[in-house]
Amino acid sequence: MDYPEAVARLLQEAGAGLGDEVEVRAADGRVWKGLVMEHHAFSAPHVLTLKLSSGYNVGVAVEGASLRLARKVPARERAPKSTAARDGLPVVSILATGGTIASYVDYRTGAVHPVTSPEELASAVPELAHTASLRTRIVFSMFSEDLQPEHWQRIAREVKAEFDAGAHGVVVTHGTDTMQFTAAALSFFLHDLPGPVVLVGAQRSSDRPSSDASMNLHAAVAVAAGTRLGEVVVVMHGDTSDASCLIHRGTRVRKMHTSRRDAFQSLNALPLGRVDFEANRPVVRLTEPHRHAGKGPVRVDDAMNERVAMIQSYPGLWPDHIESVVLDGVVLVGTGLGHVAERTFPAMEKLQREGKFVVMASQCLSGRVNMNVYSTGRDLQRLGVIPAEDMLPEVAYVKAMWVLAHAKTRDEARRLFLTPMAGEMDERTDVEAFPRPEVAQ
């Protein structure tokens, strides 16, 4: 695809083109250095995509940006071109797993029922026919609160099958209740993704006037069809208007409201981008660094040790509550910087003696666990408790299950757990990523 005018002009003025190394200073002052990438369908017309040396891509708005050519890169050094179909629309597979997005209300009983055929789902959003060539399959039809690791593993294998069969991207429709757990699990399971894996759901079923089902699905398909993201993301309503969706990294997202359409938020990280509806057409903007799709084939690495518990700390938490539920490991969701009451320390000592894997996240949800500030944290570290850094509790829980199935020793498990694998942890956290009430702003 050729570059849109504004992008082409900026490149031309600097004598740069596809594959060259450039340095761009964006209007917001951020400086990006990387290789000039192709422009993709559904990308906003004013966005230049760069491949960073980290291997991640970023989309930079060209308005107010300046660009400098760093190095002309000969064609032979360049990465091979996108394999997406050029002569038609990109193939997107929709895998349905249940949830409100694939449900309708039976007005006789008031109950919510699942959609029973793939056609029902796709035909609910006729605009999709202009966005992608769709393949739709029902994998299972369950409330997401009932999903187990075995279901995450099944979805991972189905995603691989779709990519192996030539899909450009895969959309997974899913209940919102535990979408964050599935998104994290798929992020750890799926390697060498040749295209985006997009989880999407709805807070209100598609036959209600206020439903977010059709817009969310449209946005999800646009991300799956129109980007070369090589990550697992969640696409959901971005605000109360019907104007945009946000693209959340699968390991940084959490459902933060029981009923609002904009219930999903990225915590401790900015969303990777957004999908704006302009004249009813989805326009995808990727604004944060993200992993670029590889050549595939997808590798699924989904071994899990399910003998991990999650316990939120509260004033009445006694040692025997902890002891009675911990099997091979536990994620403690402590207070503040990562604390539990001193009276639980005997239980911690026992867990350490027995070689259990004990991780500390924070019930604050935002911010980083820091167990060096107070004596409680230092004591807990001496008892073998591993700080989950800036990981969400739910993500730490899924990662702990994955790590325990992949490490032979406790030290190896600790090392694996503290190694970033899928954007789930970072050395620094963007302050803008903290959701705050309007009244305080």
Residues 287-306 that bind a copy of itself (CB under 8 A): 306
Counting residues that bind a copy of itself (by CB under 8 A) gives 80
Which residues in the 25-64 window bind a copy of itself by CB under 8 A? Answer: none
Measure CA 39 to chain center: 23
Among 57, 131, 173, 176, binds a copy of itself (CB under 8 A): 176
The catalytically annotated residue of 49, 176, 227, 251 is 176
User: In whole angstroms, how close is the CB of 73 to a copy of itself at the nearest point?
Assistant: 33
Of 134 and 348, the one with the shorter C-beta distance to a copy of itself is 348
- Strand ranges of the sheet holding 56-61, from the earlier edge strand across to the other edge: 66-71, 21-25, 31-36, 47-52, 56-61, 290-291
Which residues in the 144-163 window bind a copy of itself by CB under 8 A? Answer: 144-149
Among 90, 98, 250, 338, binds a copy of itself (CB under 8 A): 338
User: DSSP per residue over 286-349, as a string?
Assistant: E-S-EEBP-S---EE-------EEEEE--TT--HHHHHHH-SSEEEEEEBTTTB--GGGHHHHH
Of 238 and 423, the one with the shorter C-beta distance to a copy of itself is 238
Is there binding between residue 368 and a copy of itself (CB under 8 A)?
A: yes
268 φ/ψ sector (left φ>0, alpha ψ -120 to 50, else beta): left
Question: Which residue is associated with the tokens 């104007």?
Answer: 243
Is there binding between residue 427 and a copy of itself (CB under 8 A)?
A: no
The catalytically annotated residue of 255, 287, 399, 429 is 255
Is there binding between residue 416 and a copy of itself (CB under 8 A)?
A: no
Residue 24 DSSP SS3:
strand
User: In whole angstroms, how close is the CB of 71 to a copy of itself at the nearest point?
Assistant: 33
The answer to whether 254 touches 275, Cβ cutoff 8 Å, is: no
Is there binding between residue 316 and a copy of itself (CB under 8 A)?
A: yes
Of 87 and 145, the one with the shorter C-beta distance to a copy of itself is 145
- The dihedrals phi and psi of 140, each to the nearest 5 degrees, come to -160, 175
Question: What is d(CA 425, CA 427) in angstroms, rounded to the nearest whole number?
Answer: 7
Of 296 and 336, the one with the shorter C-beta distance to a copy of itself is 336
User: In whole angstroms, how close is the CB of 143 to a copy of itself at the nearest point?
Assistant: 6
User: DSSP per residue over 60-79, as a string?
Assistant: EE-TT-EEEEEE---GGGSP
Q: Is the dihedral of CA 266, 430, 309, 317 positive or negative?
A: negative
- From residue 225 to residue 244, what is the string marking binding to a copy of itself with x (rule CB under 8 A)? -------------xxx----
User: Does residue 100 carry a catalytic annotation?
Assistant: yes
